Amino acid sequence: MVYPIQTNTVSTTRLRITDTRASRKKEKTVAIRNGETTKTLASEAVPDTAPAVLPSPFDMIAYQRDVLERTILFFDTIRRRANNMLDHEAAGKPPVLNFKYETVLDAREFDKPANYALLRITAVGDDCWDDCVDLDKPPVIVLDPRAGHGPGIGGFKRDSEVGIAMHVGHPVYFVSFFPDPCPGQTLADVLATLRNFVEYVAKKHGGKKPILYGNCQAGWAATLVSAHCPGVTGPTILNGSPLSYWEGEPGINPMRIMGGLVGGVWLTHFLSDLNQDRFDGAWLVQSFENLKPGNAIWDKYANLFMNIDTEQDRFLEFERWWNGFYRLSGEEIITIVENLFIGNKLEQGKVLIDEHCVADLKSIRNPLVIFASYGDNITPPQQALGWIPAVYKSTEELKRAGQRIVYLTNTHVGHLGIFVSASVARLEHRAILEHLDDIEALEPGLYEMKIDNPTEDPDCDHDQYHVRFEPRSIEDIRFDYPEKAFENVRQVSEFNESVYRTFVSPWISAIANPWLSQMLYWTHPMRTSRYMFSDKVMPWMGVFAVLADAVSKNRHALEDDHPLIAQERRLVAEISAFWETVRKIRDAAQERQFTSLYGG
């Protein structure tokens, strides 16, 4: 029997690799930075038995000068991040795409408006559409997650999902959205908009069914479109997309229990009411950061400080997207949380699209490609794949339905790395796009996609690496989880929501006003912790701009093998380990609390 799901799930964001030698050992720390695996720390670690070597006075002075220069450059980078955030806000928070594009459809003008737009990618750098696109290939539509952030993560750099799709030759479209929802916008309105986008692209390309590329939340949105509109879409790629919300590993995937710890959907409803029926995406981003407080508070800033000469641009590029917070309509977010995250109704076929139909995943006939990672603590393989045995009771049932489901896994990359990692884009995403014809030609069933002789060179020939599809059995991907406990969460949530909706919501809605909404918007800790360092808010921060300019022209950077740099990095690693221990203790306590409240 084949077991495609590994049990040694990577649960930390820092892995240590050691090469022991006779008297000394070379130590490297692999860090997950902004979702992308990178080797950032390197030091010579002297064994405890080795005599201590005190740094010379010259070493001390050189190190102090280096620390002072790095401190100036660090705070200047934090200042620039704050200014970028305020400038992006003032510009209306446009997509952070690193490609030229044109808007072809604006859903705010539809009969049932939604705050979405369809963009056509027109150029990659200096290469225009005609230089990149093979019109014989089906178009690709990339959908970014609307989960608190703004659009663009699927194409915010050259080596990305958008870039690789263009490189392979597909016409590429991108589904963007605006910072604020349309009044009364519902999930059904969004799905109708996405269907209109798919039909428009298909018509523009001679009836070729578009390939849907859904990231995270946009993955289940693409799945709903495929289920609600069978026959309209081509192959659908689901990247880190949760479809089975109750599944996961205790202590490693804590997000699945958060709804139970706050009593269900009522809190989401309350926050929406305070903001005049709009939900601030900053709350969602704060929840993501709380999953790994050590990274949010320490690791990413320590990495920036230690590698300030090489990390500034990367840090600012990513933070521009990470700190662009968008709103959702109250009705939309309540429907999502109530039906998906707490109710887990998608795999049960109980998500109500409109008054006439529900989303039935069995109705999907276009091939599905599921990409998950063992290093993903937000959407682990259990949540990405667990819906399959819930919908199809056996492999034979899947085959009788005529469906083809292909999955592939990465061993270590984090949740965001599935979308933003350049190495993942050049390998896994390229392999998926180049082998879609093979996937569509497969016999109905479940397959695991394997890549042999992998290469990250996007210009290599198709036959320089090999992709194979190994048949798998649905019976092998069943996961155990305390279903009864989550059923109890659903019942508690429904009771609390009915009480809140009946007795509290009308009063909160009555006191909500534009002034209160703006006050809550600008005083949210995810915003104040960023923009407070702007020289537009605190003019004295402008001093760092002047000092940083002087330092950059006469930088005295130390080598990595400097003895005090090695000590500094050991100290940073110890603090990181402390925060990781704190996180594990907190997660274990929350699991015990969840079990005591709801059973397990």
What is the pLDDT averaged over residues 488-509?
A: 97
Looking up tokens 């010579």 gives 44
Under a CB-based contact definition with an 8 Å cutoff, are residues 251 and 305 in contact? Answer: no
Question: How many whole angstroms separate alpha carbon 220 and alpha carbon 237?
Answer: 10
The CA-based angle 485-488-494, given to 5 degrees, is 145
Per-residue pLDDT at 8: 39
Residues 6+ away with beta carbon under 8 Å from 167? 124, 132, 430, 458
* DSSP string across 128-176: EHHHH--TTSPPEEEE---SSB-S-GGGSSSSSHHHHHHHHT--EEEEE
Among 169, 178, 234, smallest CA distance to 201 is for 234
Is the pLDDT higher at 26 or at 469?
A: 469
Do 404 and 439 meet the contact criterion of CB atoms below 8 Å apart?
A: yes
Mean pLDDT of 381-396: 93
Long-range contacts of 493-496 (CB under 8 A, 24+ apart): 493/259, 493/260, 493/263, 493/264, 493/265, 493/266, 493/338, 493/342, 493/343, 494/264, 496/263, 496/264, 496/265, 496/266
Cα 420–Cα 426–Cα 431 angle in degrees, nearest 5: 115
Predicted pLDDT of residue 126: 67
Q: What is the pLDDT of residues 28-56, one digit of tens each?
A: 333 434 444 444 443 344 444 444 567 78
CATH number of 1-53+96-246+369-481: 3.40.50.1820
Residue 376 near residue 337 (C-beta atoms within 8 A): no
Q: pLDDT digit string (tens) for 311-358?
A: 999 999 999 999 999 999 999 999 999 999 999 999 888 887 776 678
User: Which pLDDT does position 3 carry in this prediction?
Assistant: 39
Under 8 Å between Cβ of 118 and 105: yes
d(CA 106, CA 110): 8
Q: Give kind and range of the element (H or E) at residue 214.
A: strand 211-215
Kindly give the pairing relationship between strand 36-45 and strand 25-33. Answer: antiparallel
Residues paired with 328 in a beta bridge = 279
Rounded to the nearest angstrom, the gap between the alpha carbon of residue 274 and the centroid of all alpha carbons in its chain is 27
Sequential DSSP letters for 298-362:
IIHHHHHHHTHHHHHHHHHHHHHHHT-B-EEEHHHHHHHIIIIIIT--TTTT-EEEETTEEE-GG
Q: What is the pLDDT of residues 51-96, one digit of tens each?
A: 456 778 888 999 999 999 999 999 999 999 999 999 999 999 999 9
Q: What is the pLDDT of residue 461?
A: 66
Q: How confident is the model at residue 6 (pLDDT cuts 50, 70, 90)?
A: very low
Per-residue pLDDT reduced to its tens digit, 186-240: 999 999 999 999 999 999 999 999 999 999 999 999 999 998 777 789 999 999 9
**Residues 142, 172: contact at Cβ < 8 Å?**
yes
Q: How far, in Å, CA of 418 to CA of 157, rounded?
A: 14
Q: From residue 172, how far is each of 127, 167, 169 by CA, in Å?
A: 14, 10, 9
pLDDT (average), residues 398-410: 95
E strand or H helix that includes residue 32? strand 25-33
List pLDDT tens digits, range 542-589: 999 999 999 999 999 999 889 999 999 999 999 999 999 999 999 999
Residue written as token pair 């859903």:
107
Per DSSP, 449 falls in state E
**Cα–Cα dist 139/204, whole Å:** 9
Report the relative pairing of strands 100-106 and 466-472 from DSSP bridges.
unpaired
Sheet holding 36-45, edge to edge: 14-20, 25-33, 36-45
Instruction: Please count the other Cβ atoms lying within 10 Å of the Cβ belonging to residue 491.
Output: 12
pTM of the model: 0.88
